[in-house]
Amino acid sequence: MNIAIDLGSDRTRVFAENKGKVLDEASVITYDVDTNRIFAVGDEAYAMIGKTPVGIRAAHPMDGGVIARSDLVENMVDILLGEVCTTRITNPRVVTAIPCELTEVEKRAVVNAVSSFGARKVYLIETPKAAALGCGLNINSPHGVFVADIGSGTADIGVISLGGISVSKTVKKAGGAMDEEIVKYIRKQHNLIIGTNMAESCKKAIGCVAQPTENKTYRVKGRDAVSGLPRYADVTSAELLPAIEEIAREIVAAIREVLEKTPPELLGDIDADGIFLTGGLARLGGLAQLISESTKLRVRVHKQASDCVIMGCGKAIEFIDYADKEQYAGVSPLLTAY
């Protein structure tokens, strides 16, 4: 059996050949800090963030698209894949997505984490390529495609042509950094201490990086910074805008930088097709508008933007046999196998 994995900073998704997406869980693990005993992974562990007793910690072992705690990632992958592969006799071949600007050491860490489950071979594919495949685009033609995948840990931007990446850039500030800025803003403006889970819920509900047409309100709950007692505050979309706008503009600046480095021949294709926006942050209010206004290009947001990378990894499975036999006439989107 062949499978694909998208090890994201926020969510881990698994695609099984002939079955489609079979798993979508939070990239969180809860463990004992003294014994390293694992209590929960995935959505169950996510619900424990900020609620664990002394000695128990709920953590995101992936940070900025790279592995922060290799031992925790290996345990998380082992448990999550155990739900998909009921027997290890299968020894699956695995395709996994990685950010464009990973070092060899960081690539090896991803391979080791996936291999710990017993994978026969691990194939890497850059996130923009996987996102383009997930959008149903033909990346093996000489036609240029511009894809920006904006998730929780990173924004991966790339121009793809003939199965390879012509120009790329990775921004290690995205949705997670916005959550942290919201936490800081709420504390500064409302004297209210909230957790990152509450900040994320607030961002999804009313977050906007352009002047909102409808000024929505969201109630955040936490601890009063002065009295220490439970309290809530009502926050509006317009009020939240300055807290997250700067990070959005950093992503837009990176998109412009990639465009400036793109060969003129490919720019003509991009001008005709526009920019394809994928990832969990793609549907953030006003983001597509902000990118479009800055680049003067049409921005297309995929209707299943969050799943584009994992679906693209699933489509890349069909290139595994070609990569093994070295008989593929075109350029395989897969990188070196490990």
> pTM for this one?
0.88
- pLDDT value for 325: 55
- pLDDT value for 164: 87
More confident of the two residues 184 and 93: 184
Report pLDDT digits (tens) over 307-321.
999 999 999 888 887
Rounded CA-CA distance 226/207 in Å is 27
- pLDDT value for 134: 92
More confident of the two residues 176 and 83: 176
Helix (H) or strand (E) holding 217: strand 217-224
Determine whether domain 175-243 maps to CATH 3.40.190.10: no
Rounded CA-CA distance 139/47 in Å is 39
Long-range contacts for 261-266 (Cβ within 8 Å, ≥24 apart)?
261/167, 262/144, 262/146, 262/159, 262/166, 262/167, 263/166, 265/144, 266/144, 266/159, 266/161, 266/166
Average the pLDDT over each of 105-114, 164-173, 200-209, 261-270 and give the range with the smallest value. 105-114
- pLDDT value for 232: 94
Residue 323 clears pLDDT 70, i.e. is over it: no
8 Å CB contact between 62 and 75: no
Residue 5 clears pLDDT 70, i.e. is over it: yes
Average the pLDDT over each of 38-42, 110-114, 128-132, 194-198 and give the range with the smallest value. 110-114
End-to-end CA distance of the chain: 17
Parts of the chain belonging to CATH 3.30.420.40: 2-132+310-325, 137-173+246-304
Parts of the chain belonging to CATH 3.90.640.10: 175-243
Q: Classify domain 137-173+246-304 by CATH number.
A: 3.30.420.40
Average pLDDT, the chain: 88
What topology does CATH give the domain 2-132+310-325? Nucleotidyltransferase; domain 5 (3.30.420)
Rounded CA-CA distance 176/196 in Å is 8
Report pLDDT digits (tens) over 130-179.
999 999 998 888 899 999 999 988 999 999 998 889 999 999 889 999 99
The mean per-residue pLDDT over the stretch 209-236 comes to 92
Residue 89 clears pLDDT 80, i.e. is over it: no
Give the list of residues 6+ apart from residue 270 with CB closer than 8 angstroms, or none.
144, 145, 146, 159, 259, 262, 297
